[in-house]
């Protein structure tokens, strides 16, 4: 759980480096919260959906609005930490954080956007540079060493 909330503690810290574990655990936290909000929204509308009713505002209950509020407030709360942890993750790969802006812009181009996002996903899965780089010391610490070096 500590790795999930670490980007929230480092809220707007765009300098330094972040490990893969920090990035992906934060992504897991976001997926869990968004899934719970979506489940709450769909479950409150499920009786009307299963009855075959078309959408009407009369079918919207308090559970839907609670899930919608959770979804919206959580999104607003994690925009800055999400960008910050992504920039720090790029720093761990010894890349500038401006590459993230390039991914966001090029991701809007039809067909090319899918390739850009796929490449960015692969990039986020790759390990960071070992040892210090221009963005700071290795986040894995001094005890990380190559076994067969």
Total number of domains in the chain: 1
Residue 107 CB burial class (10 angstroms; 0-12, 13-18, ≥19) = middle
Return all residues near 127 (Cβ < 8 A) that are at least 6 apart. Answer: 20
* CA dist 10 → 15, 21, 46 (Å): 10, 15, 39
Query: Taking the CB of residue 7, how many other CB atoms lie within 10 A of it?
Result: 27
Predicted structure pTM score: 0.84
User: Does residue 52 lie in a domain region?
Assistant: yes
Residue 91, in any domain of the structure: yes
Q: What CA–CA distance (Å, rounded) separates 22 from 70?
A: 23
Q: Which pLDDT tens digit goes with each residue over 98-141? A: 999 999 999 999 999 999 999 999 999 999 998 899 999 988 87
How remote is the C-alpha of 11 from its chain's centroid? 13
Quote the percentage of the chain above a pLDDT of 90.
Answer: 64
Whether 112 maps to a domain, the answer reads: yes
Determine how many CB atoms are found less than 10 A away from the CB of residue 28.
12
Answer whether residue 109 is part of any domain: yes
Token readout for 124 is: 């986020």
Q: Is 134 contained in some domain?
A: no
Q: State which residues form the domain around 93.
A: 2-125
Residue 141 lies in a domain: no
Could you tell me if residue 130 is inside a domain? no
pLDDT at 143 over 60: no
More confident residue, 58 or 1: 1
Spatial separation of the C-alpha atoms in residues 6 and 30, rounded to whole Å = 13
Q: Is residue 31 part of a domain?
A: yes
């Amino acid at each position: 759980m500590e790795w999930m909330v670490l980007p929230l503690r480092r809220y707007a810290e765009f300098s330094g480096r972040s490990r893969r574990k920090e990035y992906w655990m934060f992504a897991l936290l976001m997926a869990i919260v968004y899934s719970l909000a979506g489940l709450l929204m769909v479950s409150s509308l499920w009786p009307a959906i299963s009855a075959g009713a078309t959408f009407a505002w009369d079918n919207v209950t308090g559970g839907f609005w609670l899930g919608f509020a959770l979804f919206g407030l959580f999104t607003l709360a994690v925009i800055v930490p999400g960008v910050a942890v992504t920039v720090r993750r790029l720093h761990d790969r010894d890349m500038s954080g401006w590459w993230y802006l390039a991914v966001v812009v090029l991701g809007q181009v039809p067909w090319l956007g899918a390739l850009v996002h796929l490449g960015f996903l692969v990039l986020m899965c790759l390990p960071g540079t070992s040892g210090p780089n221009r963005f700071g010391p290795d986040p894995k610490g001094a005890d990380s060493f190559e076994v067969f070096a």
